[in-house]
Amino acid sequence: MRPDDVVLEVGPGLGSLTLGLLPAAERVVAVEIDPRLAGLLPGTVAERRPDLADRLDVVTADALRLPELPGPPPTALVANLPYNVAVPVLLHLLDLLPTLDRALILVQAEVAERLAAHPGDKAYGVPSVKAAWYGEVRRAGNVGRRVFWPEPNVDSGLVSLVRRPPPPGDRAATFAVVDAAFGMRRKSLRAALARWAGSPAAAEARLRAAGIDPAARGEQLSVTDFARLAATEPVAP
C-alpha cells in the first residue's frame, strides 16, 4: 500500500479492515451492498478514527453492477469476496476501472487456486485465463477458517494481482474463445472450438494458422495463445 493510493474496498462490513486501510492510503472508497452496514460505517470511522473520517467515501451498491465511483479514480482494490461472485466481481472491476493497478482479494481457497493457476495446472480454467488478461496473478497466502466469526465451513486464500498490459488482441473475442475451449475441456481444441469456428475443419485451420496444435486442450494454452487464436481470420466456406 502506498500513501497516495485511492483504495477501492469491496464488502467492508463492520469496517475492521477499513480502519486499517485509512491510515495507509490517501482515500478509501468502500462499496457495500447492505444498506444497513453502509449506513453504520461512517459512524464507526467517526468514532474510532475521527482524524481520518474525511478520507472515507461509502457507496451503497452491488459491486457486480457498479457503474462508476465518486472522487479520484482508484489505484488499488482490496476485497473479501464470497465464493459465488468472486470471479465476476474481480473481472468486472478490472474492466470498469483501468486505473486499478493492484488488487488483493480474499476468496475461498478453491477460487484462489483457480485464479492463480498456470497452463497445465489441474485448476487452470476460465478464471485463470481471464484474470491473466489483466495482470500477473499469484497466491499471496492462506487464511484458516478460525480467524472468522462466525467460522465458515471452508478455508480462504489471498490472491494478488498486479496489472500489466494485456496481450495484443480484442478482449471480448478472446474471452469468447476461452469460454468455448473450456466448455468442452476434455475434448481437443479442434472439437471444442467447432461451433465457435463454424466446423471442426474450420477450427483446425484457425488453430494451425495461430501455430497451435489442434489436438491440444484448452488447459495447455496461455492467455496470449488464446488472444492470438481469436485474432486469426475465419476460414472461407
Query: Which domains, ranges and CATH numbers included, belong to the chain?
Result: 6-163 (3.40.50.150), 171-230 (1.10.8.100)
pLDDT at position 64, please?
A: 94
The C-alpha atoms of residue 24 and residue 22 are separated, in whole angstroms, by 5
How many residues make up the chain in this entry? Answer: 237
pLDDT at position 237, please?
A: 61
pLDDT at position 29, please?
A: 97
Which residues are CB-contacts of 69 (< 8 A; sequence separation ≥ 6)?
8, 29, 31, 57, 59, 97
pLDDT at position 78, please?
A: 97
pLDDT digits 0-9 by tens, 13-62: 989 999 999 999 999 999 999 999 999 999 999 999 999 999 999 999 99
* Lowest model confidence (mean pLDDT) among 60-69, 98-107, 146-155, 208-217: 146-155
3 state DSSP class of 8: strand
3-state helix, strand, coil in the chain (%, to 5): 45, 20, 35
Q: What CA dihedral angle connects 140, 100, 5 and 65, to 10 degrees?
A: -100
Q: What is the reported pTM?
A: 0.92
